[in-house]
A and B are shown apart, each in its own frame.
Chain A
Amino acid sequence: MKTHTHDYPRAILHFDGDSFFASVEQALNYTLKGKVVITGGERGAVTAVSVEGKRLGLARGLSLRDIRRVCPQAVVVSSDYVSYGIFARRMYTLVRRHAPVVEEYSIDECFADITGLARPGRSYEDIAQLIHRELEQALGVTFGVGLAPSKVLAKVASKHRKPGGFTAISTSEADAYLANVQIGQVWGIGPAMSQTLNALGIQTALDFARQSPEWLRANHISKPYRAIWHELRGTSVNAVAESGATVPASIIKSRTFSPPTADRAFVYSQLVLNVEGACARARRAGVLARRVSFFLKTQEFLYGRVELDLSIPSANPADILNAMRPRFDVLFKQGVVYRATGVSLGGLVPAGAAPLDLFGEAEAAQEQLPVLNGVDALNRRFGAGTVYAGSSMAARLHKAPERRRRAAIRPSHLQMDVTRRRKRLNIPFLGVAR
Chain B
Amino acid sequence: MQLLGTIQAGFASPAEEDAADIISLEEFLLGDKEASYMLRVQGDSMKEAGILDGDLVVFERTAACRPGDIVVALIEDGYTLKYLRQESGRFYLEAANPQYPILYPKDGQILGIVTGSMRSYK
The verdict on A433 contacting chain B, using a C-beta distance below 8 Å, is: yes
Known pairs A407-B122, A425-B26, A427-B58; A433 contacts B42 (CB<8 A): yes
Tell me which of B37, B62, B74, B120 contacts A137 (CB under 8 A): B62
Interface size class of A (residues with CB under 8 A): 20 to 34
Chain B residues with a Cβ closer than 8 Å to the other chain, count: 30
A417 to B56 CA separation, bound complex (whole angstroms): 11
Tell me which of B32, B34, B78, B81 contacts A431 (CB under 8 A): B78
Residue in chain A with minimal CB distance to B40:
A432
Q: Shortest CB–CB separation between residue A87 and chain B, in angstroms? A: 10
The verdict on B72 contacting chain A, using a C-beta distance below 8 Å, is: yes
B72 contact set on A, CB distance < 8 A: 433
Residue in chain B with minimal CB distance to A410:
B122
Q: Shortest CB–CB separation between residue B90 and chain A, in angstroms? A: 23
- CB of A432 within 8 A of CB of B79, answer yes
A407 to B121 CA separation, bound complex (whole angstroms): 11
The verdict on B49 contacting chain A, using a C-beta distance below 8 Å, is: no
The verdict on B61 contacting chain A, using a C-beta distance below 8 Å, is: yes
The verdict on A30 contacting chain B, using a C-beta distance below 8 Å, is: yes
Residue in chain B with minimal CB distance to A133:
B63
Residue in chain A with minimal CB distance to B118:
A421
- CB of A94 within 8 A of CB of B79, answer no
The verdict on A304 contacting chain B, using a C-beta distance below 8 Å, is: no
A138 to B62 CA separation, bound complex (whole angstroms): 7
A279 to B82 CA separation, bound complex (whole angstroms): 45
Segment 53-99 of B: residues with Cβ below 8 Å from A: 56-58, 61-63, 72, 74, 77-81
Known pairs A427-B58, A433-B80; A422 contacts B38 (CB<8 A): yes
Tell me which of B30, B32, B35, B74 contacts A30 (CB under 8 A): B74
- CB of A94 within 8 A of CB of B38, answer no
A427 to B39 CA separation, bound complex (whole angstroms): 10
Q: Shortest CB–CB separation between residue A104 and chain B, in angstroms? A: 15
User: Which residues of A approach B to under 8 Å, CB–CB?
Assistant: 30, 90, 93-94, 137-140, 407, 410, 417-418, 422, 425, 427-434
